[in-house]
Amino acid sequence: MAFSTCARALDEYGIEADYAERWERDPASDQSGWVARSSSAAGPVLWLRSGKRFMLARPRAMDATETLAIWSRASANRASIEELRRLADFEISYGVITGDDGCILHSTLPWRELQSVVLPKNWSIDCAVGDLASGACLG
């Protein structure tokens, strides 16, 4: 991963697979950044916001024992769709803010795309965009 020479993009290259991605600054961004934390039934959620865009990140909710049991059923072709979804259940979603809610545009969980989400009411504005990028605001 490397910042481009113009510092307006982040270039990401695969380590375990051949791929390349370029993350560019959204032209609609107003250069401000906010952070919020909330909880869901699946665990803690970290929210990032800049202008009318947001991202959320949530870790996998299953423990190692449950994960291994589902992998065992999956390898024997006996896992349900819900169990397979739980194996993939680490979420990073990106969306647009529409009023008080958000709409997920892209997600590591494809079935979440185009879903409406309730945004946190309280955002911390004590983190500059540079602090968000460095991870300094993550606690």
Q: What does the DSSP assignment read for 62-84? A: --HHHHHHHHHHHHTT---HHHH
pTM: 0.63
Q: How far apart are CA 42 and CA 112, in angstroms?
A: 14
Reading phi first (left if > 0) and then psi (alpha if -120 to 50, else beta), residue 40 is in beta
Spell out where 5-61 has E strands. Answer: 9-13, 20-24, 34-40, 43-50, 53-58
Owner of token pair 């290259």: 13
Q: The tokens of 86 are what?
A: 């739980």
Local confidence band at 50 (pLDDT 50, 70, 90 cut-offs): confident
Nearest to 101, CA basis, from 37, 39, 49: 49
Q: How far apart are CA 61 and CA 88, in angstroms?
A: 10
pLDDT tens digits for range 15-45: 777 878 877 777 766 667 778 888 776 678 8
Share above pLDDT 70 across residues of the chain, in percent, rounded to a whole number = 77
- Cβ–Cβ under 8 Å, residues 51 and 30: yes
